[in-house]
Every structure is written in structure tokens, then in C-alpha cells.
Chains A and B, each alone.
Chain A
Amino acid sequence: MDKTQLLIALALALFSLGLVGVIVRRNLLVMLMCMELMLNGVNLSLVTFAQQAGAAVGAVLVFLIFVVATAEIAIAIPIVLLLARRRHTLDADAYADLKG
């Protein structure tokens, strides 16, 4: 297997694992961490392509994704804490009444 194919397949696998984790897991914090795994898979594909093209621009995009992921966590964690304080559970099913 070519090295590029290995890395891109790994990136796809990490993204799919994160997506299925968001769907099948029950705990809100675990769902958040699975989203981080999806971002990591995307980052890996970006770094692979940037390294092949020798373009530092890809690394800039990865860096901006880092910042966005940090902002996402910084706002998601207070929301999770607020939900946990209100219903005393992190079970996503406990918040099913949020759907329209």
C-alpha cells in the first residue's frame, strides 16, 4: 500500500469512527470527543496533501482548524456543564424534548 493511500485511508477511518461515535454513543462528553476525532481525521488528510504539494498553506489551514476546535470546546463545555447542572445527567436521551 502506498504511503499516501495509507494516510488518507487512516484519515477517512478516523473521520468515520468519529461520526459513528457521535451517533451511537450516549454520553454528551463522549460525543464531543468523537467530534474532536473527526477534526483530527480531517487535519491528517490536510497535512498529507500539504506535505505532498510542499505547500505551507495547508499547514496554515490546519492551524486555523486548531483555533476553531479550541473555540468549539470552549463554548461546548460550559453548555454541557449547564445541561448537567439542570438535569443531573449527561445522557443525550434525557434531552430528547429539545427536538421540534
Chain B
Amino acid sequence: MSGTDLLLWFFAAASLAGGVLMLVARHPMRVALALIGSMISLAGIYAILGVHVIAVFQVLIYVGAVMVFMVYVIMLLDTRDPAQKRRFSALAIPGAIGFVLLLGGLVYGVVGELPQAAVAARPGQGFGLTEFAVAFLNEYWLHFELTSVLLLAAVVAAVAVIKASRGDHG
């Protein structure tokens, strides 16, 4: 097992541990930190796979923008909320049973069906920024523009929500 394989296993274990911690941590800030750790480990996996573009975006957009925003909101909200004392809803036990069934079914159904060594992973042989940018802006420029419409709609909706909350309280 080479050093790259070891790193891949390490990052996979770290991201899985982050996901499990998210389920059991009590305070939302700890959940957010576990999610950040999981996302950074996923960025490491992407970098090992040679898809550096996505690794950079994962850190910059997800961790840098989305999760910092989330941490900021957690700091804004009241920490004496009773929702933070009790972690699990009434569906905890059916949810756990469903989780085991779902994961077992998915792994049995999907992983067993994957093609074997014929297309085995080629670490470090992903595609660079050039291929990504050419595919993105040559073929998918319309989708790119449509995402800007989506973002504009999200901004308008956020402003509308804030106006609705102002209307209720004078």
C-alpha cells in the first residue's frame, strides 16, 4: 500500500468520522465543526484523485462561504434553546433502523455492481483547470448563466423573507 493509498484511507475515515460526529454531537457549533472537518477531508480526497479544481472549490465555496455563514448564524442564535438539550426527535429509533437498512441495501446493491479493475481509479490522473474551463464555458455556458438567475431569485427570496418578518413585528 503506497503513501497515497494510506492518505486516501485516512481522509475517507476522517470524513466518515465527521459524519458520525454530526449525528451524535449535542451543540450545533460542534456539528458545524464536524461538518467542516468532513468537507476538508473530502477536499483532500478530491486532491488525491487529481481533481484539483473541485478540491479548491470545495474549500473556498463550501468551507469558506457556506459553513462560515452557518457558524455565524449559530453564534447569532440563542444557546439556551431547549432544542439543544434534547438531541433526537421521536423518530430516533426508527431512523437508526432505517439507516442500517438503507446503507446495507445501497452498499449491497451499488458497490457489488461496480466494474472491477478494468476502470480502476487512476490517482493523479484527473483533469486540470483547462479541461474543466473549456467544457464549462464552451458547452455549458447557458447553465452557467441560469445559475446566476437562480442566485438572483435566492437573493430576492431572502429579502422577501426578511420583509415578511419585519411586517409581523412592526
A residues lining the B interface (CB < 8 Å): 2-10, 12-21, 23-30, 32-34, 36-37, 40, 43-44, 47-48, 50-57, 59-60, 62-64, 66-75, 77-82, 84-86, 88-94
**Beta-carbon nearest neighbor of A18 in chain B:** B19
The secondary structure that dominates the B interface is: helix
With a 10 A CB-CB cut-off, give which of A7, A10, A56 has the most chain B CB atoms: A56
With a 10 A CB-CB cut-off, give which of B86, B134, B165 has the most chain A CB atoms: B165
Chain A residues near B131: list those with CB within 8 A.
56
Q: How large is the interface on B (under 10, 10 to 19, 20 to 34, 35 or more residues)?
A: 35 or more
Chain B residues near A19: list those with CB within 8 A.
99, 102
> Given A4-B120, A26-B83, A69-B66: A47 and B77 within 8 A (CB)?
no
Sample of 26 A–B contacts (CB below 8 Å): A2-B114, A4-B114, A5-B111, A8-B110, A20-B95, A20-B98, A21-B23, A27-B28, A27-B81, A27-B87, A32-B70, A33-B22, A48-B121, A54-B126, A59-B53, A59-B54, A64-B143, A75-B154, A78-B161, A81-B76, A81-B77, A89-B82, A90-B77, A90-B83, A91-B83, A93-B89
Chain A residues near B111: list those with CB within 8 A.
5, 8-9, 12
B89 touches A92 (CB 8 A): yes
> Given A17-B19, A70-B66: A91 and B92 within 8 A (CB)?
no
Chain A residues near B116: list those with CB within 8 A.
2
Contact partner of A30 (CB less than 8 A), chosen from B22, B107, B123, is B22
Chain B residues near A16: list those with CB within 8 A.
99, 102-103, 106
Taking A7-B49, A13-B16, A20-B102 as given, write out 20 further A-B residue pairs in contact, using a Cβ cutoff of 8 Å, ordered by the A residue number. Answer: A4-B120, A9-B107, A12-B107, A13-B103, A25-B88, A26-B88, A29-B31, A29-B77, A30-B31, A36-B66, A40-B38, A52-B121, A60-B132, A60-B139, A62-B57, A66-B57, A66-B58, A78-B158, A88-B78, A89-B83
